[in-house]
């Protein structure tokens, strides 16, 4: 059974987290598709660009990352003090930057 994130994350213990995200159904995000021979390495740039742009919206810094063929690794720092300084309006504006399209 899975555990809720609010029970996994403890900023009093550490503000640094190693996060992993894997593609489902053995799919490949990047690299060469062995079935079609098509190469998807150009997607690594997309993932990197989006990841780094999100640091401008959230109170999270990217310490390290790796975009692999079927998964990503990120080491993140959660800047709790910065987030606590945001007004409700600023939180809404930041949310809108991510989800307005």
How many residues are present in the chain? 101
Low-confidence ranges of the chain (pLDDT < 50): none
Q: Please give the helix or strand (H or E) that residue 18 lies within, else none.
A: strand 16-22
**pLDDT at residue 93 in the model:** 94
**Whole-model pTM over 0.75:** yes
pLDDT score, position 74: 98
pLDDT at 101 (0 to 100): 67
pLDDT at position 2, please? 82
Contact (CB, 8 A) for 74 and 51:
yes
Q: Which of these, 11, 8, 7, lies nearest to 83 by C-alpha position?
A: 11
> Is residue 51 left, alpha or beta, with left meaning phi > 0 and alpha meaning psi from -120 to 50?
alpha
Can you give the pLDDT at residue 58? 95
């Amino acid at each position: 059974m899975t555990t809720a994130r609010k029970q996994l994350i403890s900023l009093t213990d550490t503000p640094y987290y190693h996060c992993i995200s894997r593609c489902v159904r053995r799919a490949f995000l990047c690299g060469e598709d062995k079935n079609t021979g098509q190469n998807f390495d150009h997607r690594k740039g997309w993932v990197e660009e989006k990841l780094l742009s999100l640091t401008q919206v959230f109170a999270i810094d990217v310490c390290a990352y790796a975009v692999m063929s079927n998964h990503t690794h990120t080491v993140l720092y959660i800047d709790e003090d910065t987030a606590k300084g945001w007004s409700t309006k600023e939180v809404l504006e930041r949310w809108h930057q991510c989800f307005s399209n």
